[in-house]
């Protein structure tokens, strides 16, 4: 997938659409991420998958786990490992807040987006609560009702 540029100067590299389907996304943070040179080049080519990516707080540091950045096609023996843990760059207060909320309330940290902002690669970390099957069905039902209502409004405006 190639990068798509939005109005605010942000170029989205990868989007985790399943996160909104599987979780209630409560709060979001923007964080920097530590990458090697070949990871940045692979990300520029859109070779990133965030489907199973999540974040964890360990030893006063936040880490991204299960984010897949494919090997760079023109890399040499110094190419990166696709599924390695990558460090998140957050302020100490943010890390402590995330640690407290994930421990006490049983919430998870899900990676929802990876994008370029001002020449740097950023990730969006969301505090998430898992959805049950009936919650997913309710969300789908609401989405369908909203789509039908928009279609009816458009029909009434045209005719």
The CATH number covering residue 64 comes to 2.40.280.10
Residue 6 scores a pLDDT above 80: no
Q: How many domains does the chain have?
A: 1
Whether 87 maps to a domain, the answer reads: yes
pLDDT in tens, 39-95: 898 899 989 999 999 999 999 999 999 999 988 888 777 788 888 999 999 999 999
Q: Quick check: 122 pLDDT over 90? A: yes
141 found inside a domain: no
28 confidence band (pLDDT: 50, 70, 90): very high
Structure token pair of residue 48: 């990133």
CA-CA distances (angstroms) from residue 32 to 5, 12, 81? 19, 14, 19
User: Which residue in this structure is represented by tokens 């096609």?
Assistant: 73
Domain that holds residue 26: 4-131
- The residues, ordered by sequence, that sit 6+ positions from 151 with a Cβ below 8 Å of its Cβ are none
Q: pTM of the full predicted structure?
A: 0.78
Assess if residue 36 is contained within a domain.
Answer: yes
106 in a structural domain: yes
């Amino acid at each position: 997938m190639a990068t798509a540029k939005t109005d605010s100067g942000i170029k989205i590299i990868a989007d985790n659409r399943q996160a909104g389907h599987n979780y209630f996304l409560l709060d979001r943070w923007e964080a920097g991420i530590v990458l090697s040179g070949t990871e940045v080049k692979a990300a520029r080519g859109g070779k990133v998958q965030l489907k199973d990516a999540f974040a964890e707080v360990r030893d006063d540091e936040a880490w991204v786990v299960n984010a897949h950045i494919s090997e760079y096609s023109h890399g040499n023996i110094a190419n990166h490992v696709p599924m390695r843990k990558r460090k998140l760059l957050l302020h100490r207060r943010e890390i402590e807040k995330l640690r407290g909320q994930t421990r006490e309330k049983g919430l998870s940290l899900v990676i929802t987006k990876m994008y370029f902002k001002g020449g740097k690669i950023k990730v969006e970390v969301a505090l998430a609560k898992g959805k049950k099957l009936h919650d997913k069905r309710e969300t789908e039902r609401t989405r369908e009702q909203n789509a039908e209502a928009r279609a009816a409004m458009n029909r009434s405006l045209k005719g």
